[in-house]
Amino acid sequence: MTLTIGQAAPNFTLTNQFGQPVELASFKGKKNVVIVFYPFAFSGICTGELCAMRDDLASFQNDKTELLAISCDPMYSLKAFGEAENYTFNLLADFWPHGEVAKAYGVFAEERGMAIRGTFIVDTEGNLRWQVVNGPGDARNNVDYKAALAAL
């Protein structure tokens, strides 16, 4: 599936690393949302990307913006990953039905059972405002997200 800028972002409810449900629609009218799909917890590039966001968290999670990081890992792996790396943002498990949300956003690699590196910015009205999709081995640049958020 290919998403188009301006269209309503596919809604979802996923469990975070603490077993709590997080629904995209709950931020409508309140916050912009940065959705970051990544392949696997504890993998090198994924850890590096999320640590960079952790180290500059005020740019991605504040009164106007919420950060949601999504992988197809189970909740328990995400809990261990979050604790190991001191992540205070939501790590969401798109584990079962496996990759359902990644499929809705067009970033599920069926043959490998994982999400590829897709990033989406959803505005306060629930519409897709920005997106970038990188291959599994291609790290993203946080400067791009900051510029897209500043344009909202």
Catalytic machinery residues:
46
In order, the DSSP letters of the chain are: ----TTSBPPP-EEEETTS-EEEGGGGTTT-EEEEEE-S-TT-HHHHHHHHHHHHTGGGTSSSSEEEEEEESS-HHHHHHHHHHHT--SEEEE-TTTTTHHHHHTT-EETTTTEE-EEEEEE-TTSBEEEEEEE-TT----HHHHHHHHHT-
